[in-house]
Each structure stands twice: as structure tokens, then as C-alpha cells.
């Protein structure tokens, strides 16, 4: 396993209550693993905590990366081990060129330009149009997200945490982003995908459902989706979406009904 969370609890800043409670799941190397759940379930909190942001310190539990305990490591140390995060709304740091920004995390400076060009191509940005552009207000939100993705890819990390990578994007470009995620996986990188959209999560091999700070299930994405819908009481929606996908034909209607009954009886 590349990433393991063991009983992770993250309190609020004033420590009066917990944002996530006793979360344990593992992420396989070279997979896409989604964390799904409604707004406020603790998905982003968990993502920031895995990245090591100081305001998201865990109070209990352990985070292991490739078997190494990283619980007390800071962001930079975790990044150097091969963990990175692409923010939902990356900061617009005016004054840096796209080249400079994408190359920030490249360790091998000898092939810097080549790596930046490759990363830009991976996210479907034409290098000749973007390399010398400044990261300023002339870039759209979609372009900015692609540049952020390129910057993480250029680092050649082992684990990329994507925090709501498609938030605010047009429907027509979302498909393109899903292809990009698969391309990242083909580059032998692992993705931890934070999303509250089931259509985005369909790209993942595995998923974990968070519900009000608790971990409900970690399994294949369709199975997690059924449980998500059952929690939300969306039976018809569940049948429509889960059965629609060709890759999810392993669940019949009876199975879904049983899961819903289980949830209702809780």
C-alpha cells in the first residue's frame, strides 16, 4: 500500500469537536482512489492533513506513506517523499511565468524545460502558448487548474492529492480532465481524488465514503456509491447512475434494495 491512514482523527482548530473521526483506509499504488461525501463531510480536511498543512493536525492516529510514518512530518518533508496536492482554487501568484511555476518542484534541473513541456502537454496545454505567459488574471480558471496539475505532474510525485479538481469547470472540459487523470495514472502516479461529484468519481478504482466526519465504507467506486445514495435516501437516483455505467454492471436491483434497507434500519 502506498498510503495508509490508521484511526486518523482531526479536531477543529479550538479542539472542541472533531472534523473527521477515526478514519482508516489504504490507497494502492498506481490507482485512482476517490474520497467522496457531501459538503462538510471532511474530505478536504483529510486531504490537507495528509499533505501536512499545519492547521489540519491530527490528534489521534497515524499516516503511513510507503510504510514510513509521516504523521509528524511537515509539508516540505512530505513533498520531498513524493506527496503533493493540487488545490481546488490555486493561488494566482502574479509575476511568475507558467514555466517558472511548473518547474518549481522539479528536482532534476538538467531536464527542466523538457519536463515542463511534457507536463503541459499531459494537461493539454500547448507549451509554445503558455511557457512564457504570466500567471495573472488573463488566465481562466480552467487554465489555472491545468497549470496547477502540470506543476504537480512535473514533480513526478508518487501520490497526487487532487482537491475538487473539476470544481467550477464547464461540463465540456470535465471529460478532458477525466482523461488527464487516467494519463497521470499511466505515468505510474497514484491519485487521491477528493470530489463530491459521482460522475467524476467514476474514473476511480477505489473510493472511501465520508459522512459527517465518519468513514462509512472503502471499496470499489460503485459499491461506495450505492452506500452513499443509501445514506442520502436516493434510491432511484442510485439505480439510474450505478446501473448506467457499463463498468458497474455487477450490482443488481436486489442488492441495492438490501443496502438501502440496511441503511434505513440503522
Partner 1 sequence: MSNIEYPKEILKSLEEYNINIKDFLPGHGKGAKLLLDFNKIKGMEEIEGVILKGKEIQNGIIADIIIKEGVKLEDPVHLCFGVNKETGVQEIFPRIIAEDNSEVTIQAHCSFPNATGLIHKMYSHFYIGKNCKFNYTETHYHGEKSGAIVAPVAQIYIGENSIFENNFTLTRGTVGKVKILLDIYAMKDSTIRSTVKAFGRTKNDSVRIRDSIFLEGENARSVLKMKAAAQNGGEVLMYGVTEGNAPKCNGHVECNEIVLGRGSICRARPFIRATDPEASVSHEASLGRFPQKWLDELKAKGLTEEEAIQILIEAMLGE
Footprint on this chain of partner 1 (rule: CB under 8 A): 51, 53, 55, 74-76, 79-80, 84-85, 87, 90-91, 93-96, 104-105, 107, 151-152, 155
Minimum distance from residue 73 beta carbon to partner 1 (Å): 12
CB atoms under 10 Å from CB of 173, counted, come to: 16
Compute the least distance from the CB of residue 75 to partner 1, in Å.
Answer: 4
| Strand ranges in the chain using DSSP code E only, listed in sequence order | 3-11, 18-27, 32-36, 60-65, 68-69, 83-86, 159-163, 190-194, 206-211, 214-220
Closer residue to partner 1, CB minimum distance, 134 or 211: 134
Could you tell me the smallest distance in angstroms from the CB atom of residue 64 to partner 1? 19
The answer to whether residues 160 and 182 touch, using CB atoms and an 8 Å cutoff, is no
Q: Which is nearer to partner 1, 56 or 228 (CB)?
A: 56
Measured between alpha carbons, how far is residue 7 from residues 26, 149, 258 in Å? 11, 30, 28
For residue 50, the minimal CB distance to partner 1 (Å) is: 11
Residues 6+ apart with CB under 8 A from 69: 62, 63
If the CB atoms of residues 159 and 209 are measured against partner 1, the closer one turns out to be: 159
Which of 64/73 has CB closer to partner 1?
73
Shortest distance, position 132 Cβ to partner 1, whole Å: 13
**Terminal alpha carbon distance of the chain:** 32
Helix (H, G, I), strand (E, B) or coil at 193: strand
Residue among 148 and 223 whose Cβ is closer to partner 1: 148
Amino acid at each position: 500500500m502506498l498510503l495508509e491512514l490508521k484511526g486518523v482523527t482531526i479536531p477543529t482548530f479550538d479542539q472542541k469537536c472533531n472534523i473527521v473521526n477515526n478514519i482508516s483506509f489504504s490507497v494502492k499504488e498506481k490507482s485512482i482512489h476517490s474520497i467522496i461525501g457531501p459538503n462538510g463531510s471532511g474530505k478536504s480536511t483529510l486531504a490537507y492533513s495528509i499533505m501536512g498543512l499545519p492547521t489540519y493536525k491530527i490528534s489521534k492516529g497515524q499516516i503511513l506513506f510507503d510504510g514510513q510514518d509521516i504523521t509528524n512530518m511537515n509539508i516540505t518533508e512530505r513533498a520531498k517523499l513524493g506527496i503533493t496536492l493540487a488545490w481546488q482554487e490555486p493561488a494566482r501568484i502574479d509575476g511568475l511565468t507558467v514555466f517558472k511555476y511548473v518547474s518549481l518542484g522539479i528536482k532534476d534541473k538538467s531536464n527542466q524545460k523538457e519536463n515542463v513541456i511534457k507536463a503541459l502537454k499531459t494537461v493539454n496545454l500547448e507549451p509554445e502558448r503558455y511557457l512564457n505567459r504570466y500567471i495573472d488574471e488573463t488566465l481562466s480558471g480552467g487554465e489555472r487548474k491545468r497549470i496547477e496539475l502540470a506543476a504537480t505532474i512535473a514533480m513526478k510525485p508518487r501520490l497526487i492529492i487532487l482537491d475538487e479538481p473539476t470544481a467550477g469547470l464547464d461540463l465540456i472540459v470535465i471529460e478532458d480532465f477525466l482523461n488527464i487523470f487516467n494519463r497521470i495514472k499511466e505515468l505510474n502516479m497514484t491519485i487521491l481524488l477528493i470530489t463530491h461529484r459521482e460522475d467524476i468519481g467514476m474514473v476511480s478504482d477505489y473510493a472511501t465514503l465520508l459522512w459527517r466526519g465518519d468513514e462509512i465504507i472503502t471499496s470499489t467506486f460503485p459499491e461506495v456509491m450505492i452506500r452513499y445514495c443509501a445514506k442520502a435516501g436516493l434510491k432511484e437516483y442510485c439505480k439510474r447512475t450505478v446501473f448506467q455505467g457499463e463498468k458497474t454492471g455487477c450490482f443488481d436491483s436486489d442488492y441495492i434494495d438490501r443496502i438501502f434497507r440496511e441503511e434505513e434500519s440503522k
